[in-house]
Amino acid sequence: MKRRDFLTSTALGATAMTLNACHRAEEEHSDNSTQVPRGKKVTLKLATSWPAHFPIMGTGIDNFAKRCFELSGGTLEIKIFPKNILVPALQVFDATSAAQIDAFHSGVYYWKGKNSAFSIFGGMPLGLTSEEMITWMKFGGGYALWREMYAKFNLYPLIGGTTGPQMGGWFKKEIKSLSDLQGLKMRIPGLGGEVLKKLGVNPVLLPAGELYTALERGTIDATEWVGPALDSMMGFSKAAPFYYTGWHEPGSILEITFNKTKWDKLSDTHQAIITAASEEMTANMLQEFRYKNAKALQELPSNVQIKTFPKDMMDATKVALKEVLFEESKKSSDFKRALESYEAFVKLNQPFDDISTKNFLNIRG
């Protein structure tokens, strides 16, 4: 698929899943079938940070809207507006907060300038995987903190997908040692960008549609994006042949976030449907990323060289991460509280993960 076609592709087919009947919605029984009661129709405007029908992430939110319509019996319609139709890609947070739109779909770490703690809810470098992140959010207290902090902006967040482990990025020149990072211009958001900044990198935040051009023209020297499936379609290998394994986003969280005033006015039934559909979307997205990344890895162009970062760089990265977390905790009580909750879950989870998942993967080889 050509890169231009990719950015304007039509939606992928949705995979239907049967939801658990524990969403506490009222039920009507007719002809031995269970239906959601029809009430007053609600229409919501949701803007995204992706191009129209962007594979996996964009089609995921398309299917989420479709499921909300289906499960509500047509009483809940969520209209999806791709980036730059109603608002620019990285202004969806402010637009939803101000009630200019009702909701958005984007990445949590984009908003660290609003509150540095948001970076933690988006995922931690060298930290929790997608499964672990969702477990912390749902059972370890992460959701409560996230919603408390977003409420200050009149927002109500839901997990809206996760990418699984991401790759470390595409580089024009090979990184042979820590010194090769000095002065490097790289598109990398969130805490990963703050860590690399300490190692001499100039981190840049750019939306998806600008990445290839910036890399091709030398405006940036490197970019991370997601993984083989989406990266290949973006054509990065034509401009930067060195493809590095990841460390900075082992389990990034995406979000479906609503204007809180609007959310609070929704019926219990519609809130339950949205919540259930968001969890379905999150599961589907993680599975689709895994399958399509595995397939795309086998189809990378012959000029691509898969590399791992040098040991001196990764050793320095671990030190820099600790410094960033300490400094941010000193500056922000919200960051400190979120980090304490995150680290408490890591301490609880790590021993079992070591003897279960990690041990099994070592055995499996």
The first and second tokens of residue 301, run together, are 């162009």
Contacts of 94 (CB under 8 A, 6+ apart): none
Give binding residues as ranges.
166, 187, 224-225, 249
What is the SS3 assignment for 122?
helix
Contacts of 300-304 with CB under 8 Å at 24 or more apart are 300/228, 300/232, 300/237, 300/243, 301/237, 303/237, 303/241, 304/237, 304/241, 304/243
What is the Cα–Cα distance from 245 to 25, expressed in whole angstroms?
A: 44
Known binding residues for Na(+) are 225
How far is it, in rounded angstroms, from Cα 175 to Cα 243?
10
Coil, helix or strand at residue 191: helix
Cβ atoms < 10 Å from Cβ of 265: 11
Q: Which residue ranges are tagged as binding site for substrate?
A: 166, 187, 224, 249
Residue 46 and residue 291: Cα distance in Å, rounded? 28
